[in-house]
Amino acid sequence: MNFDEYQTQTSSTAIYPSDKALEYLSLGVASESGEIAGKVKKLIRDGYSKVSKEEWEKNLASEIGDVLWYLARLSDELGFSLEEIAQENMDKLLDRKNRNVLKGSGDHR
């Protein structure tokens, strides 16, 4: 499955008010990203004492999938394809690499 196929299929599981899509989906990205951060924080604190490394990684991958769903829906609501967004992002990063400005700050390097 590629990004565009995934993005198309997410619409079949989307349940949120259309007039609040931007807000709902943005909060979903933040919330699910927070779950990833929370799992990593607990790993720092507890190590693998609660679950095996493999189980922890599987749980983290599941949270990454949740973030991807929200990003796919947000992209769709804004009229962009994930495939385009991924390509544009890679083009930007490779351009920065070629100009030796990967490090640093600012959107327009």
Q: Write the pLDDT tens digit of every residue in 5-49.
A: 999 999 999 999 999 999 999 999 999 999 999 999 999 999 998
DSSP 70-92: HHHHHHHHHT--HHHHHHHHHHH
Q: Give pLDDT tens digits for 59-103.
A: 999 999 999 999 999 999 999 999 999 999 999 999 999 999 988
The CA-atom distances, in angstroms, between 49 and each of 35, 36, 71, 74 are: 19, 18, 32, 36
Structure tokens at 72: 């796919």
What's the CA gap between 24 and 104, in Å, rounded? Answer: 32
What is each CA distance from 39 to 2, 8, 53, 96, in whole angstroms?
27, 29, 12, 31
Per-residue model confidence (pLDDT) at position 109 = 65
pTM of the model: 0.88
The distance of Cα 3 from the centroid of its chain, to the nearest Å, equals: 12
* Geometric angle at alpha carbon 40, from 46 and 21, rounded to 5°: 140
Domains of the chain: 3-78 (1.10.287)
